[in-house]
């Protein structure tokens, strides 16, 4: 995630730290791997000290030295570490609405949440709820009859505007056309018209023919399809 935003030597140390915890938190532990982690931990801590200022280090960073030993003595850490419990306590703490009666307030909020979750499972499909969230876009307003765009639209993550150049636009257009069931007969007609060899084309040859055409001034599929569709509409 941070690669490209920090210097390469910093990223390598962070990747090594991530690998350390991934091996340590595995469901099954090997004594050989744990022994390697015990040798790796002091070196890794020294590498971190070369990057971060002294104020960054506290007992939590020093704890890295002891974690492999604890895993070697106690086995896998999922059932012994406090991190899952701390995450659960954070969720419960957010449910508190009355600071005078903290435990009762959390218990009441938890019970109400369970009741709401079980109740909404019996709601109709037209009622938005936790189990039936409303779509991000209005699926009913999708008037397209094309197979690729038919049905309920999914959510989209945040994006940034981008201006496509001509080559990128052609790649996207060809992807859309080749994945439309309605365009499949036109693709077969195009291949039948411009593939002059006796044997059937390979997938690589089909891709080249659709993108670049057959050469000698022959059109590619997008140019051919652009002229073909208006002529067919004019006949109908």
**Residue 232: which pLDDT band, with cuts at 50, 70 and 90?**
low
> Any idea which of 46-50, 83-87, 137-141 has the lowest mean pLDDT?
137-141
pLDDT of residue 188: 85
- Whether 148 shows a pLDDT value over 90: the answer reads no
- Whether 43 shows a pLDDT value over 90: the answer reads yes
Instruction: Parse the chain into domains and list their residue ranges.
Output: 8-74, 83-120, 166-235
CB 46 within 8 A of CB 19: no
**Residue 38: which pLDDT band, with cuts at 50, 70 and 90?**
very high
Sequence-distant (6+) residues with CB within 8 A of 183 are 177, 225
**Mean pLDDT within 169-190:** 85
Report the candidate in 14, 60, 17 with the shortest Cα–Cα distance to residue 37.
17
Tokens of 28: 């099954």
- Whether 181 shows a pLDDT value over 80: the answer reads yes
**pLDDT tens digits for range 107-129:** 999 898 888 888 888 877 777 77
pLDDT of residue 201: 77
Q: What is the spatial distance between Cα 35 and Cα 96, in angstroms, rounded to a whole number?
A: 44
Beta bridge partners of 6: 3
Q: How far is CA 90 from CA 26, 100, 113, 114, 171, in A?
A: 24, 18, 16, 18, 47
Tokens of 119: 């109740």
> Any idea which of 33-47, 58-72, 168-182, 218-232 has the lowest mean pLDDT?
218-232
Q: What is the spatial distance between Cα 229 and Cα 21, in angstroms, rounded to a whole number?
A: 58
Tallying the residues shown for the chain, one arrives at 236
For residue 209, the tally of other CB atoms under 10 A from its CB is 20
Report the candidate in 163, 140, 161, 160 with the shortest Cα–Cα distance to residue 152.
140
- Whether 42 shows a pLDDT value over 90: the answer reads yes
Give the percent of the chain with pLDDT over 70. 83
């Amino acid at each position: 995630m941070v690669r490209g935003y920090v210097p390469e030597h910093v990223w390598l140390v962070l990747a090594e730290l991530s690998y350390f915890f991934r091996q340590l938190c595995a469901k099954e532990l090997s004594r050989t791997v744990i022994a390697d982690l015990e040798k790796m931990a002091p070196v890794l801590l020294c590498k971190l000290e070369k990057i971060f200022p002294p104020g960054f280090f506290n007992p939590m960073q020093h704890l890295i030295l002891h974690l492999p030993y604890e895993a070697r003595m106690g086995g896998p850490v999922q059932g012994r570490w406090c991190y899952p419990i701390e995450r659960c306590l954070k969720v419960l703490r957010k449910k508190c609405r009355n600071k005078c009666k903290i435990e009762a307030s959390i218990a009441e909020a938890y019970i109400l949440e369970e009741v709401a979750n079980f109740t909404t499972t019996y709601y109709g499909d037209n009622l938005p709820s936790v189990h039936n969230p409303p779509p991000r876009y209005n699926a009913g307003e999708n008037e397209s009859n094309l197979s690729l765009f038919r049905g309920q639209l999914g959510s989209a993550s945040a994006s940034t505007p981008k201006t496509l150049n001509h080559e990128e636009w052609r790649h996207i257009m060809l992807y859309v056309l080749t994945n439309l069931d309605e365009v499949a007969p036109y693709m077969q007609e195009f291949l039948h018209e411009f593939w002059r060899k006796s044997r059937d084309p390979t997938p690589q040859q089909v891709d080249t023919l659709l993108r670049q055409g057959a050469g000698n001034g022959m059109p590619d599929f997008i140019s051919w399809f652009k002229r073909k569709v208006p002529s067919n509409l004019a006949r109908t």
